[in-house]
Amino acid sequence: MAALRSPLPSGKLLRFLAKSPREQIAAIRINLNRTFKVGRQPGADAVLARHPWAAPAAVHSDLPFYIALRPDSDRNHKRYPELGALSTAWVHRNEASNATDLPRLYSLVLNIRQALEQEIAGDFAELGVYRGNSAAVLAHYARAAGRHLYLFDTFEGFDRRDLVAADGCRQPEFTDISLAAVREFVGEQNVRFIQGYFPASIPADLDQAHVWTARWVQGLICRN
Ligand SMILES: C[S@@+](CC[C@H](N)C(=O)[O-])C[C@H]1O[C@@H](n2cnc3c(N)ncnc32)[C@H](O)[C@@H]1O
């Protein structure tokens, strides 16, 4: 059997696999922190791009896996030429969360493409935008397909009305954003930004004139 090509020496990989899930996550975070610390040094872009744990580099490289196995359709068959640029948007100002979460990017891309290939009619909407990482992915496909994208968020983080029961003692999260910053990052073309607390923030014209069809999770809703 051909030896499994790995970015890690096998002993190191085995030690990693022997850790508990909590320890594995801590180890991944330490590696990512090191990676992005390197990336912040002047002239270190090339080092960052080659690092096996750097998400955009992993997408462009021929490594067999990053943290989860990459779909054959990408690694072997190169079916998503747009994925490199989308992965850069995916981690923009959000490396700590999204560089560890390529499966979610793949899931989003595969689902959007499936909806478009099946010619499911309607515009796109995302409930919960934060810094616009998944919104930038949605916007790419909406523009390419001549559709619109509606982005719903307070753009000020979680509303205190939602911090109840087990969450009652928590402070609102995702407050380190602004509508202006997300608008600039995602871009205006084919995109409508709707600031407020949803579902109350859904404008009456959208709510009444269209049937919202929640076909799947993670942000994409088709409006027929
Ligand atoms: C996990 S973040 C979204 C991440 C984003 N989809 C991505 O993948 O890049 C959750 C967002 O939902 C927003 N949010 C949560 N509940 C909301 C509500 N009821 N109304 C408006 N915004 C809400 C928060 O402000 C926060 O920006």
Residue nearest to atom 8 of ligand 1 (CA): 134
119-128, 163-172, 211-220, range with greatest mean pLDDT: 119-128
Read off the pLDDT band of 186 (50, 70, 90): very high
CA of 156 to the centre of ligand 1 (A): 9
Q: H/E element holding 208?
A: helix 204-209
Domain locations in the chain as residue ranges: 10-94, 106-223
pLDDT at 56: 52
Residue with tokens 């930004």: 193
pLDDT at 136: 96
Residue nearest to atom 16 of ligand 1 (CA): 158
Query: Using CA atoms in the order 28, 137, 126, 157, what is the torsion angle rounded to 10 degrees?
Result: 50
From the options 3.40.50.720, 3.40.50.150, 3.30.70.150, 3.30.565.10, give the CATH code of 106-223: 3.40.50.150
Helix-strand-coil split of the chain, %, nearest 5: 45, 10, 45
Mean predicted lDDT score pLDDT of the chain: 78
| Strand runs labelled E in the chain | 123-127, 149-153, 191-195, 212-213, 221-223
Phi, psi of 124 (to 5 degrees): -105, 150
CA of 157 to the centre of ligand 1 (A): 7
Structure tokens given for 46: 């090339």
Say whether pTM exceeds 0.75. Answer: no
pLDDT at 60: 56
Q: Most distant CA pair in the chain: distance in Å?
A: 62
